[in-house]
Amino acid sequence: MSTENEGTAVPPAPSAPPVPVDIPAASPQQPAPPYAQADDATTAPMPVTPPGAPGAPEQPPHAPGIPAYASANPQGGAPEGGWPPPPPPTHAHPEPAPGGPGDGSGWGTPHAQPAPKPGGRRGGLLAAVLVAALVAGGLGGGIGYTLARDDDSSSTTVSASDSGGDLKRDSGTVAAVTAKALPSTVTIEAESSSGEGGTGTGFVFDTEGHIITNNHVVADAVDGGKLTATFPNGKKYDAEVVGNAQGYDVAVVKLKNAPSDLKPLTLGDSDKVAVGDSTIAIGAPFGLSNTVTTGIISAKDRPVASSDGTSSQASYMSALQTDASINPGNSGGPLLDAKGNVIGINSAIQSSSNGGFGTGQSGSIGLGFAIPINQAKYVAQELIKTGKPVYAKIGASVSLEDSSGGAKITDTGAGGTDPVEAGGPADKAGLKPGDVITKLDQTVIDSGPTLIGEIWTHKPGDKVTITYERGGRTDTVDVTLGSRVGDS
């Protein structure tokens, strides 16, 4: 996925609606107005071993056409890079999504609308995903419009009184929740030393000026780049990356000269979220800062794997799925519950095709994914404390081949190393190469990425029960998870 910027020109609206004129009847041979069409995406093979696992090999570059971090680059395209392990058979297959209205459906009038001018000022990133496309940045897309024609005919409608009384919004309404949460969200602009970058979202984590966002939102600014955060009131602050975790796709930045009146958003409990709960997403889709959308929790524990396209490192999450509209630029923004508590960090979408408004960017089809806040909170605290992420591990390399039968421990590790780390958690538990892990506690494991994502929801030192198959027999064993510091 590429990282995006704001700035695509918007076509000027006409000063008056079109005036109806008498025209001859249309000829039967007259063609219908053309509509934009979307192209299908291609898929790429899954790598053999998980990046980030002990002894894991370098991964192949991301194939063009595969859904990636859904952030636009200024040129309207997305460079190649990254890898997408294909999803298990039980999950939907991602495709690039339409980047805006006009991708095959009419906009209300048969009149052709002026097309927006492609534009922007910086390059971007591309990366692939297992289930979804990560969303960062927001290239300003064109804005469609329709015009209503004035009707001069007389009307029998009786006008109502202009005075409707005072409007009072209850604390549980979307408007009330939004009014409280918006002042604590920021639009983040990241720029590398070479001038490439994009736009995403973040939210206030504490009164000291720490902001939580996605790793792929700030990746361009990690090594000597420039980073800014702008609040809804227009106040803009320079910022710096405190720490970033590629595997978790979480990053923490800190405002320079942070104001003293920061109000951190209240964090909820993502473990207690239920399917059907209301959700509110805040972000800067396609550069439209401070945009609010609503929906519900559509599913929980959805395995998602993706890469930011800059290296072989992959991101894994056991995600919250929501149908709240999430688009490029929503990445790093808060997913709220009905009371305004943060339950997740918006990070990914599954999209159907590319195209729309000349940006070539994927758009929402109602399948968005967020990192559960319980996991993100732990990661953020570690990043603030040490600047480095800490990952739980079992100490074994597993295959990432498409399989619904489980996660198979490989016969050989990367570069001929042992697939089971000597003295590691898996070794101590008696697990061996060729074993197929089918459950972690009560969670069904249908592939290597699912296992990794589920392990990373735990902390080092946690004890888990692993169910595995060996030689046609099923057995269980308790494993105390080890730890790995850093992304390398």
What positions carry a catalytic annotation?
216, 249, 331
Residue position matching structure tokens 């534009």? 119
CB 351 within 8 A of CB 338: no
**Residue type (1 letter), 271:** D
CA-wise closest residue to 358 among 107, 146, 103, 170: 103
Structure tokens at 471: 């030689």
CB 475 within 8 A of CB 390: no
* Number of continuous H segments (helices) and E segments (strands) in the chain: 5, 20
Three-state SS at 346: strand
Rounded to 10 degrees, the C-alpha dihedral 201/203/205/208 comes to 90
Q: 132 φ, ψ to 5°?
A: -150, 165
Q: Rounded to a whole number, what is the distance in angstroms from the first to the last CA of the chain?
A: 22
Task: Round to whole Å and give the CA distance between 190 and 221.
Answer: 5
Task: Round to whole Å and give the CA distance between 436 and 445.
Answer: 9
Task: Round to whole Å and give the CA distance between 74 and 4.
Answer: 7
Structure tokens at 169: 């919004």
CA-wise closest residue to 203 among 268, 299, 121: 268
Structure tokens at 20: 């109806």
With the C-alpha atoms ordered 434, 440, 442, 446, is the resulting torsion angle positive or negative? negative
- Partners of 396 in the β-ladder: 420
Residue position matching structure tokens 């792929």? 216
CA atoms within 13 A on the CB side of 185: 31
Task: Round to whole Å and give the CA distance between 64 and 402.
Answer: 20
CB 57 within 8 A of CB 415: yes
Residue position matching structure tokens 């953020």? 380
